Structure 1
């Protein structure tokens, strides 16, 4: 099965996004993982509309609080899915890692926090570009996989680690994991799924 597109046009587009992200992050080290929602995405998302709005609010509020309390000494991305917040990026020490967890855990509507922050230096431009390409490849692989709804997954890549989030069945979780695991550039796959039954999925449809 083809896991990722090999066209130069896609690679160039993804690299362009990486360049823009790098420029923005240089001015604002704390980043928000979510994106603006369109009507089509809302309609196919397995989260309730309230949860989707909460997730956007969590990402914005948490990023602002992290910036206010930690300044530019950390590079932290906050990604929320169904009120479960994922922290990726870099901090200088264990104390800052614990502080970031505490800040986000106290953010309104956060149900749980996955603290995947590394204690290391910020990634190079090349590493950021590789992570952006990796995320694009995984998403393309999910789109190409039969019996999977790519919109039901949120994909985050950091230093070759792929983080998968979503409200999915065990079957879907296993399929998506295999897609990510076999994607070029993936060094590790971390599953942060909320597992639902096939009956629940059928009711959603």
Structure 2
């Protein structure tokens, strides 16, 4: 097992101890409770995303209590809802409640109407998210820190501010990981010129070519 894979799996194990969901970020948002500077979002957006997620937890509990398993992941004020709810009414009520949180600009509702997933399933998702992130880290033609990985029931959700080339490459890499049932793209697509304007000075512009296209 390569060092990046071991590191990513260790991070995933830590995430599992902190939350029932399976989001994993390496070099992007939070590591050990400390904000990482290397992020394509503004510092204000990073702080707001954290606040949105905390508020979403409370809103979801108010609306549905413990009868649901729902995760709210915010990236650049776009909120991804994943997990399981017992009824379509619960699904819509949760979306409405989260959409009313201050600074939320859009909702991607991926909630499944079904029984709550098991602890074993969620643990598998954490490990799978680690494998996907490690695969992104190992790739030499994309910057892994640009992507947030969320996994539910073997479905991998990819979030981030990326170019079309980066989005396609990351999606292909995620699909190549054993155990991934489906890849759902929740990206904010920007042009190469737009990306060059928003990148931190420590991160070079994405000028590398995709080896698969050569």
Unaligned 5+ segments in structure 1 are: 26-30
**2:71 aligned partner:** 77
**Structure 2 contact 8–133 (Cα < 8 Å) conserved:** no
Please identify which structure carries the higher helix content: 1
Q: How does 1:10-49 map to 2 (within 5 A)?
A: 14=12, 17-18=15-16, 20=17, 25=20, 35=30, 38-39=34-35, 41=36, 43-49=37-43
Within the alignment, does 1:188 sit opposite 2:182 as a pair? yes
- The RMSD of aligned alpha carbons is 2.4
Q: What runs of 5+ residues in structure 2 fail to find an aligned partner?
A: 24-28, 205-214
CA distance in 2: counterparts of 1:56 and 1:14, whole angstroms: 19
Structure 1, residues 9-66: CA drift from partner, whole Å, max 9, x if none? 9767745754x35xx65xxxxx796846535x2x210001111111001101111111
Contact 1:32–1:59 under 8 Å retained in 2:
no
1:11–1:82 distance in 2 versus 1, CA, 3 Å: closer
1:10–1:153 CA distance, 2 compared to 1 (3 A): closer
| 2:208 match | none
Equivalence for 1:101 = 95
Say whether 1:60 aligns with 2:88. Answer: no
In structure 2, the partner of 1:51 is 45
Are 1:44 and 1:151, in contact at CA under 8 Å, matched by a contact in 2? yes
Residue 155 of structure 1 contacts residue 162 of structure 1 at CA under 8 Å; is this kept in 2?
Answer: yes
Preserved CA contact (<8 Å) 1:32 1:60: no
- Cα separation, 2, equivalents of 1:126 and 1:133: 11
1:125 lines up with 2:119 in the alignment: yes
Q: How many angstroms does 1:136 deviate by?
A: 0.2
Residue equivalent to 1:28:
none
1: distance between equivalents of 2:11 and 2:190? Answer: 35
1:166 paired residue number:
160
Question: What is the number of residues matched between the two proteins?
Answer: 191
Normalising by structure 1, what TM-score? 0.84
